[in-house]
């Protein structure tokens, strides 16, 4: 009972707790992994954006410095090749300016500084473009005067200051995102390891429960096997007792038949014989001219003869005296001959001389008797064949007919009881019985007895 409760508890834990818990842990591992990956991805993108902002601000300032240097060299030397770097850096300046505008539209923290940087860069670019225009237009004094003002210098100073501020703040943000990234990575690993450890613990617990359940199942199977063996032994013992009781009852019945046969032979036989002798003496002493009394005595004698024959037949059915006096072979010949006369059927007999014990000889006699009785009742046969022969395993006995046959699997009623009785008689002597029959194909009842 305790084993059943433990097994039920194990099944309940497995199906209701450990199974769902394992699924939940697996889902949590997936969630933690995806959440950590998402945060790391976001922080990495933020770092990349911060680096791009720093690089864009630095490129914008460097482009303006190159352009300012190229402009001053051109004004000092008057050589046209000094304007080459200005033209090249002006393209870089425009591309970088667009990039800074784009970053300013997405970076809310640096939007003011970046917009200010864009505005100052455009003003500085306009100032340099205006100086070059005046210089190329021949208004060199105006160009030099515009250059010598503090407007360009102040704008470059502001641009440098704003650029330094953007780079410094982005560097701080970059460092912060790096620390956040390291922390998220650490906690993600810790969370995954913890969940993996829980999963492993759950798997170990499930394996332990499985081993416990397997051990309990084996114990239960051993108990079932032991109980089955005990029941088999009990069934075998009860069967042996039943068989022994049936054999005892069969012996008692045969003994009772033998006692009745002896009493009928001794008592009734003596009375009928004495009556027969009295009739004979009376017949000698009666003088009857008409013959009527003699006829009555003749009828009485015939009746006594019929009674004596009936007594003899009853005695032979109860306990065949020929079995002990004449042997099994001669008894079977007499039995088959009498059956053929009564049933008006030809009986083909093939019987070998074999040595059997009295119990087995009686079993063979009863077997043939029951088989012939069934043929007379049910077979509607035209001929019968009885065979008893010596084989390597013992003695083979067959009773065959060419009658209507039957379905062996559906035998019921008195015929079924007769067949069961035949089986029991032969099996009680250590033999076996096989019945072969089919509708319209006759019947063969075969017994095999060990010597």
111 DSSP β-pair partners? none
> Do 331 and 205 fall into the same domain?
no
* pLDDT for res 414: 46
> Do 70 and 199 fall into the same domain?
yes
Cβ atoms of residues 155 and 123 within 8 Å: yes
Q: How confident is the model at residue 200 (pLDDT cuts 50, 70, 90)?
A: confident
> Do 16 and 154 fall into the same domain?
yes
Q: What is the tens place of the pLDDT at every residue in 40-63?
A: 677 677 677 777 877 888 888 888
The pair of three-digit structure tokens given for residue 123, joined into one six-digit string? 């003003």
Q: Which of 445, 403, 440 is nearest to 422 (CA)?
A: 445
Average predicted confidence (pLDDT) for the chain: 78
- The share of the chain scoring above pLDDT 70, in percent, equals 81
How far apart, in whole angstroms, are the C-alpha atoms of residue 301 and residue 355? 42
CA R_g for the chain: 63
Cβ atoms of residues 362 and 331 within 8 Å: no
Can you tell me which residue has the tokens 């065979």? 387
- CATH number assigned to the domain comprising residue 381: 3.30.565.10
Cβ atoms of residues 134 and 148 within 8 Å: no
- Split into its structural domains, the chain has a count of 2
Please indicate whether residue 312 or residue 212 has the higher confidence score (pLDDT).
212
**Strand 394-401 relative to strand 384-391: parallel, antiparallel, unpaired?**
antiparallel
Residue 187 forms part of a structural domain: yes
* pLDDT for res 412: 54
Residue 294 forms part of a structural domain: no
The pair of three-digit structure tokens given for residue 181, joined into one six-digit string? 């990234």
Cβ atoms of residues 60 and 97 within 8 Å: yes
Q: How confident is the model at residue 399 (pLDDT cuts 50, 70, 90)?
A: very high
Q: How confident is the model at residue 416 (pLDDT cuts 50, 70, 90)?
A: low
Can you tell me which residue has the tokens 């402009």? 71
Q: How confident is the model at residue 387 (pLDDT cuts 50, 70, 90)?
A: very high
Q: Which of 48, 56, 85 is nearest to 162 (CA)?
A: 56
436 DSSP β-pair partners? 444
Per-residue 3-state assignment (H helix, E strand, C coil) for the chain: CHHHHHHHHHHHHHHHHHHHHHHHHHHHHHHHHHHHHHHHHHHHHHHHHHHHHHHHHHHHHHHHHHHHHHHHHHHHHCCHHHHHHHHHHHHHHHHHHHHHHHHHHHCCCCHHHHHHHHHHHHHHHHHHHHHHHHHHCCCHHHHHHHHHCHHHHHHHHHHHHHHHHHHHHHHHHHHHHHHHHHHHHHHHHHHHHHHHHHHHHHHHHHHHHHHHHHHHHHHHHHHHHHHHHHHHHHHHHHHHHHHHHHHHHHHHHHHHHHHHHHHHHHHHHHHHHHHHHHHHHHHHHCCCCCCHHHHHHHHHHHHHHHHHHHHHHHHHHHCCHHHHHCCHHHHHHHHHHHHHHHHCCCEEEEECCCCCCHHHHHHHHHHHHHHHHHHHHHHCCCCEEEEEEEECCEEEEEEEECCCCCCHHHCCHHHHHHHHHHHHHHHHCCCEEEEEECCCCCEEEEEEECC
Residue 357 forms part of a structural domain: yes
> Counting beta carbons within 10 angstroms of the beta carbon of residue 85, is it exposed (0 to 12), middle (13 to 18) or buried (19 or more)?
middle
End-to-end CA distance of the chain: 52
> Counting beta carbons within 10 angstroms of the beta carbon of residue 75, is it exposed (0 to 12), middle (13 to 18) or buried (19 or more)?
middle
Mean pLDDT of 436-441: 87
Q: Which of 170, 187, 218 is the last residue of a domain?
A: 218
**Strand 384-391 relative to strand 432-437: parallel, antiparallel, unpaired?**
unpaired
Q: Which of 157, 188, 218 is the last residue of a domain?
A: 218
> Do 196 and 331 fall into the same domain?
no
Q: Which of 361, 385, 363 is nearest to 372 (CA)?
A: 385
Res. 386: pLDDT tops 90: yes
Residue 415 forms part of a structural domain: yes
> Do 69 and 204 fall into the same domain?
yes
Q: Which of 258-262, 328-332, 384-388, 427-431 has the lowest mean pLDDT?
A: 258-262
Mean pLDDT of 15-22: 64
Cβ atoms of residues 419 and 367 within 8 Å: no
Most confident of 30-39, 374-383, 419-428: 374-383
How far apart, in whole angstroms, are the C-alpha atoms of residue 205 and residue 211? 10
> Counting beta carbons within 10 angstroms of the beta carbon of residue 425, is it exposed (0 to 12), middle (13 to 18) or buried (19 or more)?
buried
Most confident of 47-56, 182-191, 393-402: 393-402
Residue 159 forms part of a structural domain: yes
Residue 50 forms part of a structural domain: yes
Q: What is the tens place of the pLDDT at every residue in 327-377?
A: 888 888 888 988 888 888 899 998 888 888 888 888 888 888 888 888 888
Q: What is the tens place of the pLDDT at every residue in 85-101?
A: 888 888 888 888 888 88
The domain of 54 spans: 2-218
Res. 164: pLDDT tops 50: yes
Res. 9: pLDDT tops 60: no
Please indicate whether residue 41 or residue 398 has the higher confidence score (pLDDT).
398
> Do 213 and 343 fall into the same domain?
no
Residue 62 forms part of a structural domain: yes
Q: Is the dihedral of CA 189, 194, 195, 196 positive or negative?
A: positive
Residue 60 forms part of a structural domain: yes
How far apart, in whole angstroms, are the C-alpha atoms of residue 384 and residue 342? 13
**Strand 394-401 relative to strand 443-449: parallel, antiparallel, unpaired?**
antiparallel
Mean pLDDT of 239-265: 69
Q: Which of 200, 218, 236 is the last residue of a domain?
A: 218
Between the CA of residue 156 and those of 3, 61, 128, 150, what are the distances in Å?
Answer: 89, 8, 11, 10
> Do 72 and 195 fall into the same domain?
yes
> Do 131 and 9 fall into the same domain?
yes
* pLDDT for res 334: 87
Q: How confident is the model at residue 274 (pLDDT cuts 50, 70, 90)?
A: confident
């Amino acid at each position: 009972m305790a084993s059943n409760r433990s097994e039920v508890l194990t099944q309940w834990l497995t199906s209701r707790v450990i199974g769902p818990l394992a699924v939940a842990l697996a889902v949590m591992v997936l969630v933690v992994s995806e959440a950590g990956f998402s945060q790391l991805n976001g922080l990495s993108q933020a770092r990349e954006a911060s680096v791009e902002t720093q690089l864009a601000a630095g490129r914008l300032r460097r482009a303006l410095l190159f352009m300012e240097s190229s402009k001053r060299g051109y004004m000092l030397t008057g050589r046209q090749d000094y304007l080459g770097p200005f033209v090249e850096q002006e393209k870089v300046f425009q591309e970088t300016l667009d990039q800074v505008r784009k970053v300013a539209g997405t970076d809310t923290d640096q939007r003011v500084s970046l917009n200010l940087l864009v505005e100052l860069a455009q003003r500085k670019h306009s100032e340099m473009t205006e100086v070059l225009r005046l210089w190329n237009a021949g208004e060199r004094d105006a160009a030099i005067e515009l250059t010598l003002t503090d407007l360009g210098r102040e704008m470059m100073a502001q641009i440098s200051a704003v650029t330094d501020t953007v780079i410094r703040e982005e560097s701080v943000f970059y460092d912060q995102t790096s620390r956040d990234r390291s922390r998220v990575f650490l906690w993600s690993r810790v969370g995954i390891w913890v969940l993996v450890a829980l999963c492993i613990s759950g798997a170990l617990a499930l394996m332990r429960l499985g081993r416990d359940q397997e051990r309990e199942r084996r114990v239960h199977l051993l108990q079932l096997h032991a109980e089955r063996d005990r029941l088999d032994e009990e069934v075998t013992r009860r069967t042996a007792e039943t068989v022994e009781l049936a054999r005892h009852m069969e012996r008692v019945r045969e003994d009772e038949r033998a006692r009745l046969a002896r009493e009928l032979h001794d008592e009734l036989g003596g009375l009928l014989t004495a009556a027969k002798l009295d009739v004979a003496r009376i017949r000698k002493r009666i003088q009857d001219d008409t013959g009527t009394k003699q006829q009555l005595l003749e009828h009485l004698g015939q009746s006594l003869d019929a009674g004596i024959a009936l007594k003899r037949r009853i005695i032979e059915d109860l306990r065949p005296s020929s079995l002990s006096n004449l042997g099994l072979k001669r008894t079977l010949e007499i039995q088959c001959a009498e059956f053929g006369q009564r049933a008006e059927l030809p009986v083909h007999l093939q019987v070998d001389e074999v040595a059997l014990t009295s119990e087995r000889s009686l079993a063979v006699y009863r077997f043939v008797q029951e088989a012939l009785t069934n043929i007379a009742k049910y077979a509607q046969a035209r001929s019968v064949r009885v065979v008893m022969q010596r084989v390597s395993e013992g003695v083979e006995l067959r009773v065959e007919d060419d009658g209507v046959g039957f379905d062996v699997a559906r035998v019921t009623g008195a015929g079924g009881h007769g067949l069961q009785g035949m089986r029991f008689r032969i099996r009680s002597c250590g033999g076996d019985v096989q019945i072969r029959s089919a509708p319209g194909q006759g019947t063969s009842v075969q017994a095999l007895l060990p010597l």
